[in-house]
Chains A and B, each alone.
Chain A
Amino acid sequence: MRNIWIIASREYKRYFADWIPYMIAFVLLAVLGIFFYLNLQIAVIQPGYSPGVEIFLAPLATMLVLLIPAITTRLLAEEQRLGTIELLLTSPVKDWELVAGKWLGGFLLILSIVGVTLIYPLILNQMTEPGIDQGPFISGYLGIVLLGAALIAVGVAVSSFFSNQIAAFVTTLGVFIVIWWILDPVTRITGAGGGNFELIKYLNFSDHFFSNLFIGILDIRDVVYYMSVTAFSLMVASISVEMRRWR
């Protein structure tokens, strides 16, 4: 655990030496702010419309999918470009500890940025009567955290295969787009025709979020799903790092 924490805390600190976390936080808060403002406008015009946490949870989830590649690409790819991977792999640190430390560093950054967005439910809670619905708020944010953890893990796994950060970034974004958007229409199409519907529906990354957690249904299967994706991706990353030794 000590090694994981050493790597994670350095990774976390190092993010703030760069403009990336500030840019991500800025873009995220700006987009959420726009959605928030528009929904408040609609609420003023349309009597009876009471906006809930979904007005910023949906854009938050989508923004994470688009922004997390910027956080994860450098995690392992940069070590390979700088050659510092040689120092890490000759230190008394197990390969999976290295991968877990990298993941934790990125995850802590996402937690911090997501933490800042809590300002919106707080404001909304003040503005609406009798306040926001606690169910979707808690399960929605839990979903965001689980989603962030899984996306970062996938990003770490992709990053472990590259030494070029741009290639890692593009590939990560591509993978995210496939699991987040492409699988959704595929689910619908195959759903209409029967077949492997259940399997594809289960693999659909966004379905676990939008069908349940987003609307306040806390199903243990969704939690297990995101945690399994996280664990599986970290395992792939560990194997990829270990394979590097054999090359």
Chain B
Amino acid sequence: MIKVEGLTKDYGPNRAIDSLSFHVGENEILGFLGPNGAGKTTTMRILCGYMPPTLGKATISGYDIVDQSLEVRRRVGYMPESVPLYPDMTVFDYLKYMADLRGTEDSDENVNKVIGIMNLEERSNSYISNLSKGLKQRVGLAQALVHDPEVLILDEPTIGLDPAQIIEVRNLIQDLGKTRTILLSTHILSEAQQVCDRVLIINEGKLLAEDSPENLQSRLTGAQHILLEIGGDYEGIESLIGEIRGVNRIISSQNGKLEFETIPGIDPRPDVAKAVITAGYDLMELRKAGLSLEEIFLKLTREEKEGLHSVENLQAEIEEE
């Protein structure tokens, strides 16, 4: 659906994105993660045909974003981060204008459909200036959807919303992602973890990592870390756990709370549970402790700064720790 090869954009002497390459498959939700100023918005603007890249090539549904820009723009729905709206128009008129501009044949029907999807029926005759931030965001999403595009590009779709609205928008995106290809940017990592099939981490215009949130975790952590909590008397637990097959080493142990590392490929949790109970300890908790995306993200960006670019380096370092 979206193919990007060596995309580079310079603003004067500053390189905003640097040889980005990635692809997004059909009906996939790809999360674009990175701190502010990482180049997310620039990449998205290039893909929507707002501006041309300095170097590199990208296609959407097989159409070149520069040479066949109009074809691309017909197939892409874009919601900019600032959610630009005309405050002096009603919701209906605004959406109809957007639908007409994108060349829909029956714009009234499209508008009514999208108003239904976005639950804006009661507000369709309200002026946009009178809407709350959450409703404006919904109108912004509606304009991106109004011409029924194959690809949706959403720049920080949940920014500035309250928690209930954030959940609502995330659910909506997940629903939309069943029939559409979605590229969304965020700097909220848990959002990417929840919504996206795959994430792409960029920093200072460079691609740092690309994988599903789960794979990214296991790839970076290698061996699993497991947390064990014992209630009451916990004396001698370290030696018990240390002898179980699949346990590589105990990382920490404090007041009955143990963190240990497994040998890659073996999940020792059933054996640990049995051993703990047979030995008469009170088992309170036993769970995997994967790196959160936050930690991955921070590690990746830190490594980047220190000049260690590869994920392999990072993996080796984490294992050493």
Residues of A at the B interface (CB closer than 8 Å) are: 2-3, 6-7, 10, 14, 17-18, 82-94, 245-247
A contact residues around B76 at 8 Å (CB): 90
> Which of these, B52, B85, B88, B103, contacts A245 with CB under 8 Å?
B52
Binary CB contact string for chain B from 68 to 109 against chain A (1 if under 8 A, 0 otherwise) = 001101101010101011111100000001101111000000
Q: How far is the CA of A97 from the CA of B143 in the complex (A)?
A: 20
| CA–CA, A53 and B98, complex, Å | 44
Q: Which residues of A contact B50 (CB under 8 A)?
A: 86, 89-90, 245
Q: Are A84 and B85 in contact, CB atoms less than 8 angstroms apart? A: yes
Provide the bound-state CA to CA distance between A183 and B161, in Å.
55
Q: Which residue of A lies closest to B102 (CB)?
A: A91
The size class of the interface chain B forms with chain A is: 20 to 34
- Chain B contacts of A87 at CB under 8 A? 78, 80, 84, 98, 143
A-B contact pairs, 17 of them (CB 8 A): A6-B97, A6-B100, A10-B97, A14-B88, A82-B85, A84-B85, A86-B84, A87-B98, A87-B143, A89-B50, A90-B49, A91-B102, A92-B73, A92-B102, A245-B50, A247-B11, A247-B51
**Min distance, Cβ A15 to any Cβ of chain B, angstroms:** 11
B224-269 contacts to A, CB under 8 A, are none
Bound form: Cα–Cα A3–B70 in Å: 13
What is the bound-complex CA distance between A93 and B73, given in angstroms? Answer: 9
Q: Does B4 contact A (CB under 8 A)?
A: no
Q: What separation, in Å, do the CA atoms of A94 and B51 have in the docked complex?
A: 13
List of A residues within 8 angstroms of B86 by Cβ: 14, 82, 84
Q: Is the CB of B97 within 8 A of A84?
A: no
- Which residues of the partner chain B approach A3 to less than 8 Å between Cβ atoms? 101
Q: Which of A6, A87, A246 has the most CB of B within 10 A?
A: A87
Q: How far is the CB of A133 from chain B (nearest CB, A)?
A: 44
A87 to B50, CA, bound (A): 9
B52 cross-chain contacts in A, Cβ below 8 A: 245-246
B residues in contact with A88, CB < 8 Å: 101
Q: Which of B48, B50, B73, B78 has the most CB of A within 10 A?
A: B50
List the 8 closest pairs (A to B, CB-CB), nearest first.
A83-B84, A90-B48, A84-B84, A91-B101, A92-B73, A245-B51, A92-B74, A92-B70
Contact of A94 with B70 at beta-carbon distance under 8 Å, contacts A14-B88, A87-B80 already known? yes
- Residues from chain A with a CB closer than 8 A to the CB of B89 are 14
Task: Provide the bound-state CA to CA distance between A83 and B45, in Å.
Answer: 13
Closest A residue by C-beta to B86: A84
Chain A residue numbers with a CB within 8 Å of B143 are: 87
Bound CA–CA A10/B52 (angstroms): 28
A82:B51 contact, CB within 8 angstroms: no
- Considering the chains assembled together, what is the distance between the CA atoms of A123 and B100 in angstroms? 43
Question: How distant is the Cα of A92 from the Cα of B60 in the complex, in angstroms?
Answer: 14
Q: Annotate B280-305 by CB proximity to A: 1 below 8 A, 0 otherwise.
A: 00000000000000000000000000
Residue from the set B45, B49, B52, B100 with the largest chain A CB neighbour count within 10 Å? B100
Contact call B78/A90, Cβ cutoff below 8 A: yes
Q: Find the B residue at minimum CB distance from A78.
A: B86
Query: What is the bound-complex CA distance between A3 and B85, given in angstroms?
Result: 19
Contacts of A85 in B (CB 8 A): 84
Taken together as a complex, chains A and B put the C-alpha atoms of A2 and B101 apart, in Å, by 9
Residues of A with C-beta under 8 A to B101: 3, 6-7, 88, 91-93
B321 to nearest A CB, angstroms? 44
Q: How far is the CA of A92 from the CA of B182 in the complex (A)?
A: 19
Q: Can you name 10 extra interface pairs (CB under 8 A) apart from A84-B85, A90-B73, A245-B51?
A: A17-B88, A83-B82, A87-B78, A89-B49, A91-B73, A91-B101, A92-B73, A245-B50, A247-B11, A247-B51
